[in-house]
Structure 1
Amino acid sequence: MKHFVNFAVLAGMFGFVGSASAADLLAPARAPVAAPSVSGACAAARFSGFYAGVNAGGVQHASTWTDVDYDWYGGSMAHKETGGTAGVQVGYNYTFCNTLVGAEADLNWSGTKAKTGYESGYVTIAKKMEAFGTARLRAGAVLDQSLFYMTGGLAWAKTAYSWAETGDPDDSWKNIGSSRMGWVAGAGIEHALTDRISVKVEGLYMDLGKDSAKNAYGYTMQVATKATVGRIGLNYRF
């Protein structure tokens, strides 16, 4: 009787093991556990590479006129005009996981122009910025789908300034500079809509230096130019 009990226990154990093995064979195979993705940790990768796009917004053009030789008023007067702007940009970004460095260049039309009467209309001061462009470096950090960046570099603008006296044309300055260079700095936010398309909001400040001219009497008028730009843009990455 004792031997029979031992045999029954052993048979039960082997039966349990066999049933478990058969169940494992019949059960569907488990899918392997996927390796963790690095895209979340390296979010800047979506902004990497070459891109091109368009932009539009507003620009405030400021000019400061200085009567260097005390021909008229012996001081400075400031003028400001606002208008629209639109343009194109190209660039390249290099990414380090969640940070980014890059370079961008743009060329833009500017619609700022005005004429101001001086000395009860005896003098007409004309101011216009027709176009501007920048070549800048960018650096920033990416949080999820958004890039927060600072930017700075070189700026160029095409301007047209004149001071016309109706009673004495020789005491006028017909053209005070037409192409000027300076520096630009700003900041922006760019948001990735897809892996290739992004939108941005950007603000730039440009200091375009000073230019001067002499009239027929040898007197000098100097004009300093600055501009502030606020715009939105759309980029496509290749």
Structure 2
Amino acid sequence: MKKALLVTASLIALGATAPAVAADLAARPYTKAPPMVAAVYDWTGFYIGANGGWGSSRNSWDSVPPAFLVGPEGAHDATGGTIGGQVGYRWQAGTFVFGLEAQGNWADFSGSNLSQVFANSRNHTNVDAFGLFTGQVGYAVNNVLLYVKGGAAVTSNEYRISNLAGATIGVTGDDTRWGATVGAGLEYAFAPNWSVGVEYNHLFMQDRTYTFTTPGGAFLGTDRISQDVDLVTARLNYKFGGPAVARY
């Protein structure tokens, strides 16, 4: 009889304890879900890339002393394709992006015009290479970058004079001239470290005076040649380092 009473009392005690334990479990505090994390593209880092496109060089020729006939000979556009590469570094501060870049391209910009002073000759220009050394200031909207740029430019040129049959009658040899450039671009990061873009540059090149000689080395004439260049290129860049930062 005593054993039955003890078992009954134990069951009653367990029944009273179970609801209390359940109540304790139900009273656990609610944990708020962590906030959403937005990945914001970071343009900071070194990059290297390739570019290709089209260019046009405007060249004005003027015959000057000691040539025996002087005066404006006319102008022509030397146009063609270009391909090359670039390397640079950017650093981002908030939504602003600053950078430095060096670019080098092969080119084939060629053109000619009939001389307005020497009626039986044509003036030819060929731009076979150029380089740009620029600083950049840009504005980033996450993985889209708008920027302007400016700095120094250099072109490698070849000038010659031909007769109407196309035979060369005057040469100067290859020439390198320095000037300035300004430009603007749009770049889009389509993958963690890859971006594509399009860019325009205008090159202001200094006037130069050249002495032309015949293929045999005899004096032929002297011309002052002015030059500027317009470039439109598509670009592909690979950026080293982390592509994005997390912001809450």
Task: Give the TM-score taking structure 1 as reference length.
Answer: 0.78
Distance between the aligned counterparts of 2:78 and 2:68, measured in 1? Answer: 25
Residue identity matched to 2:57:
H
Percent same amino acid at aligned positions?
25
SS in structure 1 of the partner of residue 27 of structure 2: helix
Contact 2:64 2:224 in 1 (8 A): yes
Determine if the alignment matches structure 1 residue 22 to structure 2 residue 20: no
Residue identity matched to 1:159:
N
**Which residue in the other structure is 2:239 paired with?**
237
Structure 2: give runs of 5+ residues left out of the alignment. 1-17, 213-217, 241-248
Distance between the aligned counterparts of 2:75 and 2:115, measured in 1? Answer: 13
Residue identity matched to 1:228:
D
Give 1:228 shift. 0.2
Determine if the alignment matches structure 1 residue 132 to structure 2 residue 130: yes
2:203 aligns with one of 179, 201, 206: 206
Contact 1:177 1:213 in 2 (8 A): no
1:82 aligns with one of 76, 79, 84: 79
Relative distance call for 1:163 and 1:218 in structure 2 (3 A) is closer
SS in structure 2 of the partner of residue 193 of structure 1: strand
Give 1:162 shift. 1.9
Give 1:31 shift. 6.3
Contact 1:131 1:157 in 2 (8 A): yes
Relative distance call for 1:132 and 1:31 in structure 2 (3 A) is same
Structure 1: give runs of 5+ residues left out of the alignment. 1-14, 167-171
1:191 aligns with one of 185, 188, 192: 188
Contact 1:94 1:102 in 2 (8 A): yes
Which structure has the highest strand share of the two?
2
Determine if the alignment matches structure 1 residue 60 to structure 2 residue 63: no
Question: For 1:109-120, what aligned pairs fall within 5 Å after superposition?
Answer: 109-118=106-115
**Which residue in the other structure is 2:15 paired with?**
none
SS in structure 1 of the partner of residue 172 of structure 2: coil
Give 1:81 shift. 2.3
Determine if the alignment matches structure 1 residue 226 to structure 2 residue 232: no
Contact 1:104 1:136 in 2 (8 A): yes
Cα RMSD of the aligned pairs, angstroms, is 2.9
Distance between the aligned counterparts of 1:23 and 1:65, measured in 2? Answer: 92
